[in-house]
Chains A and B, each alone.
Chain A
Amino acid sequence: MNKHRCYIQGSAAISAQHTFDGDFFSAPMVTTSTNNLVAAEPDYKAFIPPNSLRRMSRMLKMGLTAALKAVQNSGQPAPQVIVTGTGKGSLSDTEKFIRDIEQYQERALNPTPFIQSTYNSVNGLIALQQQSTGYNNTFVHRGFSFENALLDSMLQLHEGVGNTLTGAFEEMTDEHFYIKSRIGFWKDTPTGNAAMFDHNTSGSISGEGATFFMLGTERTPNAEACVTGMKMLYKPSAEALNKALPVFLEQHGLKPTDIDLVITGRNGDINTDHYYRVLLSAHCPATPEVPFKQLCGEHDTAGAFAVWLGAQILKHQQLPDMLQSYATNVPDPIRRILIYNHFIGEQHTFFLLEQA
């Protein structure tokens, strides 16, 4: 088996858009007039007992619910392996715990935010709920967090594991938004996601969400797409990046013209969006391109949302209405999608998805 090949047997995404329930393909884009895209939370009661729900922070509820829905959608039994990635983990619990330390002078600390502030708390909850006692790992590597989780999952599958639950989760808090605004992460003036590409300014729009995939080596009836390749490049030079894309495609027996659609992580930041423009104009000038961060916002694990979006496009063989205006000449059928995303110009990733 190719160690970079696995089927997405089921998936689920919680984002600012109607990705969890509702018709994502015909729904209009959810917009905000601020620079922070907040995830639309589903009704958790269908997935989590009320007595457990009351103790969970927003991030834990989103992560656990997306994971359970992905397993449900796959029609597979409980996952043998759980691997996730997160750039920030359960931020609200971390902040609460730190505030309590200060307020109560390190005495009388509440155990719940302490327990749940750890990065692996989502994985722990999933494992408990699914009674999955196998390999369980959480990667925390900023813009490569989800990518490392996916790579680990692929290696686990290559080693003979039957299936893995792989995902990413991220939450934004007021405090964290403020801290990042101080270092120029977000646009200076309220811009909103609908207009994020219209302003020739630095910074982007923040986002959050949880995305999970059940992965396996077998093509199942529910299979949405096949992940056939992934390449990570850390702070590549312009020359290295330019060389890397054709080499990556060649390693998978492809030419740039074999790509039917490119999904890019353009985020409206003039300091880093040139990477997409330069690379695609050099190698895929005629390939239709759609950006995805106007849907989910910028965050460390936005790449997971892009993979989910690519898989849905391949499964349904159409672009969602909200992306139609970006690309007019999409081939029919859509067989192969290249995703190119980078996080703040440092962590660059190519994903290759094919029809299942």
Chain B
Amino acid sequence: MEELKLKLKQQIIEALNLQDTKPEDIDDNAPLFGEGLGLDSIDSLELMVLLERQYNIKVEDPREGRKILASVQSMAEFIQSKQPA
């Protein structure tokens, strides 16, 4: 799980071009939107695309997105839950 979270942080930084941010600057449980990284609605679309491209996971119900993209922790848990046992 720790490895997945680190990889996810690196992918978020690259996808969203967060130039001055390092993986260690992102707290696992800090909110990604509003406070924390201060992301916006376009970023949420970019993160949905990231999940599809990197993990082959499509978020079918957009209402789920808010919960899934709440933090790195919630994203990692979602990815893990979708991976085959």
Partner of A55, one of B17, B20, B52: B17
Main secondary structure of the interface of A (DSSP, over half): loop
Interface string of A89-120 (1 = CB under 8 A from B): 00000000000000010011111100100000
Residue A50, interface by CB 8 Å: yes
Residue B30, interface by CB 8 Å: no
Residue B42, interface by CB 8 Å: yes
Residue A51, interface by CB 8 Å: yes
Tell me the nearest residue of chain A to B16, going by C-beta: A54
B20 to chain A, nearest CB (A): 7
Q: Which residues of B contact A51 (CB under 8 A)?
A: 38
Cα A54 to Cα B45 in complex, Å, equals 16
B17 and A110 contact, CB distance less than 8 A = no
Q: Which residues of A contact B38 (CB under 8 A)?
A: 51
Known: A111-B42, A112-B42. A54 touches B49 (CB 8 A): no
B78 to chain A, nearest CB (A): 17
How many residues from B make CB contacts under 8 Å with A?
Answer: 13
B53 and A104 contact, CB distance less than 8 A = yes
B76 to chain A, nearest CB (A): 20
B19 and A108 contact, CB distance less than 8 A = no
A117 to chain B, nearest CB (A): 14
Tell me the nearest residue of chain A to B51, going by C-beta: A108
A108 and B42 contact, CB distance less than 8 A = no
- CB proximity to B under 8 Å, residues A274-295: none
B58 to chain A, nearest CB (A): 8
Q: Which residues of A contact B15 (CB under 8 A)?
A: 110
Interface centre among A54, A107, A109 (most CB of B within 10 A): A54
In the complex, 6 of the A-B residue pairs with CB atoms within 8 angstroms, ordered by the A residue number, are A55-B16, A110-B46, A111-B42, A111-B45, A111-B46, A112-B46
Q: Which residues of A contact B49 (CB under 8 A)?
A: 108-111
Known: A51-B38, A55-B42. A108 touches B18 (CB 8 A): no
A164 to chain B, nearest CB (A): 29
Interface string of A46-77 (1 = CB under 8 A from B): 00001100110000000000000000000000
Known: A110-B46, A111-B46. A54 touches B53 (CB 8 A): no
Cα A110 to Cα B54 in complex, Å, equals 13
A107 and B42 contact, CB distance less than 8 A = no
- CB proximity to A under 8 Å, residues B12-33: 15-20
B42 and A54 contact, CB distance less than 8 A = no
Q: Which residues of A contact B52 (CB under 8 A)?
A: 107-108
Tell me the nearest residue of chain A to B54, going by C-beta: A108
Cα A280 to Cα B13 in complex, Å, equals 56
Tell me the nearest residue of chain B to A115, going by C-beta: B42
B43 to chain A, nearest CB (A): 8
Beyond contacts A108-B52, A110-B46: 9 other A-B pairs, Cβ-Cβ < 8 A, are A50-B20, A54-B16, A54-B19, A55-B16, A104-B53, A107-B52, A109-B49, A111-B49, A112-B46
A54 and B18 contact, CB distance less than 8 A = yes
